[in-house]
């Protein structure tokens, strides 16, 4: 449990600033490169939980790296290199303050919203009579604002344009990329016996004015997967779907009365539960990538990450 990355405090050559997100630490190297370190922190309901998860950072970084490479023909992305299992180094981009969430199925927060009686999400109408985990006729795009702190907020296309968050031309391109990336992710998941249920994409602008896909893609932190086998039968019987995502963690927290609301205390996480979460992340890696997960040497994980980043920056 001690060989996890909870936080970093590195000082790289040319370092201009450091941003600490919920899960990632991002170092700006002279407005030229971003060094993104996937820590082992875990968040739910926009709250960072008190215990880190062994190998979680490696799982996230390696899944994202593989999918960034596999979708570069659809949309330019920020990735240049991955010099360490927990690190991606890429092009410096100014983030667009939106999360482009796309949903293929009525599940998770969208189901909770629907069950409460609402029939519209982010300006998108949802028909009556749908069941939990049912597939939408077409995937729907339901953006949220990207909050620097606290909770992200649902927002419609119309409101994004009214507020001038992006131009109409840029939003149309973001939506196009989102739909095409989701289609590719859906096809890749199907070859591994999985359903890509929903996910989110983040984008930024480079100094050339071009839009790039940034951050992670198709990881268990940003996506939800069902097992394809048995999906239709479970739907007919009204049973819960077998899924690979963080939803089991959210459900565990909700069962204990925690939803990330002001004044609520995070329930105690036992070491056994932490290991269970770790194994779930590794299970998703092996299923979605189709390869055995190789645990990296974490005997001096901070030293390893620092050296690998420093060595790459020294020659680039």
Can you tell me the mean pLDDT for 4-22? 95
For residue 126, count other CB atoms closer than 10 A to its CB.
16
Inform me whether the pLDDT recorded for 46 exceeds 90: no
Can you tell me the mean pLDDT for 298-306? 96
Confidence (pLDDT) at 165: 96
Inform me whether the pLDDT recorded for 150 exceeds 80: no
Is 184 strand, coil or helix? helix
Which residue matches tokens 């001690």? 2
Max Cα separation, the chain?
59
Please, which pLDDT band fits residue 149 given cuts at 50, 70 and 90? low
Please, which pLDDT band fits residue 116 given cuts at 50, 70 and 90? very high
- 244 forms beta bridges with 225
Would you give the end-to-end CA distance of the chain in angstroms?
34
Inform me whether the pLDDT recorded for 163 exceeds 90: yes
- pTM of the entire structure? 0.91
Contacts of 39-43 with CB under 8 Å at 24 or more apart are: 39/5, 39/6, 39/7, 39/8, 39/86, 40/4, 40/5, 40/6, 41/5, 41/6, 41/7, 42/246, 42/249, 42/277, 43/221
Return the higher-pLDDT residue of 175 and 250.
175
Please, which pLDDT band fits residue 106 given cuts at 50, 70 and 90? very high
Instruction: Indicate the average pLDDT of the chain.
Output: 94
Give the start-to-end residue ranges of the domains of the chain: 15-93+247-314, 95-244
Tell me the HSE value of 94 on the side-chain side, using a 13 A CA sphere.
7
Confidence (pLDDT) at 23: 93
Is 18 strand, coil or helix? strand
Confidence (pLDDT) at 114: 96
pLDDT tens-digit series, residues 50-65: 999 999 999 999 999 9
pLDDT tens-digit series, residues 214-223: 999 999 889 9
Report how far residue 292's alpha carbon sits from residue 307's, in angstroms, rounded to the nearest whole number.
Answer: 26
Confidence (pLDDT) at 148: 60
Determine phi and psi for 147, rounding to 5 degrees: -80, 135
Q: From the options 3.40.50.2300, 3.10.20.30, 3.30.200.20, 1.10.3720.10, give the CATH code of 15-93+247-314.
A: 3.30.200.20
Fold assignment, 95-244: D-amino Acid Aminotransferase; Chain A, domain 1 (3.30.470)
Residue 151 token pair = 């909770």
Report how far residue 172's alpha carbon sits from residue 141's, in angstroms, rounded to the nearest whole number.
Answer: 12
Under DSSP, the state recorded for 77 is B
Report how far residue 280's alpha carbon sits from residue 278's, in angstroms, rounded to the nearest whole number.
Answer: 5
């Amino acid at each position: 449990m001690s060989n996890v990355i909870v936080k970093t405090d590195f000082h790289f050559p040319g370092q201009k600033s450091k941003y600490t997100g919920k899960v990632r630490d991002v170092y700006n190297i002279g407005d030229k490169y971003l060094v993104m370190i996937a820590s082992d922190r875990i968040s739910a309901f926009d709250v960072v939980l008190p215990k880190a998860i062994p190998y979680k950072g490696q799982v996230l970084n390696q899944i994202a790296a593989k999918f960034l490479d596999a979708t570069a023909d659809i949309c330019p992305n920020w990735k240049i290199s991955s010099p360490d299992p927990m690190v991606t180094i890429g092009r410096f981009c100014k983030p667009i303050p939106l999360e482009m969430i796309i949903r293929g199925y009525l599940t998770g927060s969208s189901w909770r919203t629907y069950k409460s009686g609402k029939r519209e999400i982010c300006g998108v109408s949802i028909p009556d009579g749908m069941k939990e985990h049912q597939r939408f006729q077409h995937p729907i795009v339901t953006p949220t604002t990207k909050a620097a702190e606290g909770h992200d907020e649902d927002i419609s296309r119309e409101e994004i344009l009214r507020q001038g968050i992006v131009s109409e031309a840029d939003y149309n391109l973001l939506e196009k990329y989102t739909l095409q990336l989701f289609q590719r992710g859906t096809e890749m998941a199907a070859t591994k016996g999985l359903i890509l249920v929903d996910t989110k994409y983040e984008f930024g602008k480079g100094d050339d004015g071009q839009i790039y896909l940034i951050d992670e893609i198709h990881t268990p932190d940003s996506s939800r997967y069902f097992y394809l086998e048995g999906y239709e039968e479970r739907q007919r019987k009204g049973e819960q779907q077998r899924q690979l995502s963080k939803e089991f963690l959210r459900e565990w927290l909700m069962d204990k009365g925690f939803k990330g609301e002001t004044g609520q205390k995070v329930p105690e996480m036992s070491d056994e539960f932490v290991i269970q979460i770790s194994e779930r992340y590794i299970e998703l890696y092996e299923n979605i990538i189709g390869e055995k997960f190789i645990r990296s040497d974490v005997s001096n994980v901070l030293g390893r990450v620092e050296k690998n980043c420093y060595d790459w920056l020294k020659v680039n």
